């Protein structure tokens, strides 16, 4: 039996500050949403990413991103971000994201994304991921149903 890839969802509303004069969310503003998604995933798998930086001295630096925009988010939309672990190595990790709008009648797909990250220390030198985080990515303890 193969374990499902670790995944989690977060929901929040679009802020006015995130729109632009096109009347939709400015395209760069989906990246902070992806960051919210992956930090929640790390929190559920181990502990908060703030603690990882502070206690373990490991920072996850973004090495590459790709986003595909299917439909536009608008102010006050209820947004759902589903983050899924794509893969992990000792020094690097990649996540995929599905950004959706939750409507009364259903769900609209807005953006699909992928980010690659690498582990560094405070001085920018390459590091390995903390062993506990690597283990949590590889063998996530399933939540009770």
Handedness of CA 7, 13, 17, 19 (dihedral sign): positive
Q: How far is the CB of 115 from a second copy (least distance, A)?
A: 8
Residue 5 or 59: the one with the smaller Cβ distance to a second copy is: 59
Q: What angle do CA 137, 97, 5 make, to 5 degrees?
A: 30
Residue 64 or 132: the one with the smaller Cβ distance to a second copy is: 64
Q: How far is the CB of 44 from a second copy (least distance, A)?
A: 14
Which residue ranges make up the site for a second copy (CB under 8 A)? 12, 15-17, 19-24, 26-29, 31-32, 35-36, 39, 48-50, 59, 61-69, 72, 74-76, 124
Q: How far is the CB of 47 from a second copy (least distance, A)?
A: 11
Q: Is 77 a catalytic residue?
A: no
Residue 44 or 74: the one with the smaller Cβ distance to a second copy is: 74
Torsion of CA 91, 88, 140, 52, to 10 degrees: 30
Q: What is the CA radius of gyration of the chain?
A: 16
Active-site annotation, residues: 20
């Amino acid at each position: 039996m193969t374990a499902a890839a670790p995944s989690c969802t977060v929901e929040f509303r679009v802020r006015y500050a995130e729109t632009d004069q096109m009347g939709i969310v400015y395209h760069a503003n989906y990246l902070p949403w992806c960051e919210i998604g992956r930090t929640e995933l790390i929190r559920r798998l181990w502990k908060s990413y703030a603690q990882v930086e502070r206690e373990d001295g490991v920072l996850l630096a973004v090495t590459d991103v790709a986003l595909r925009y299917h439909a536009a988010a608008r102010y006050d939309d209820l947004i759902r971000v589903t983050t899924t672990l794509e893969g992990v190595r000792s020094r690097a990790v990649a996540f995929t994201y599905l950004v959706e709008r939750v409507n009364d009648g259903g769900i609209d797909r807005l953006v699909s994304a992928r980010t690659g990250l690498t582990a560094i220390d405070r001085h920018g030198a390459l590091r390995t991921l903390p062993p506990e985080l690597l283990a949590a990515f590889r063998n996530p303890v399933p939540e009770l149903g």
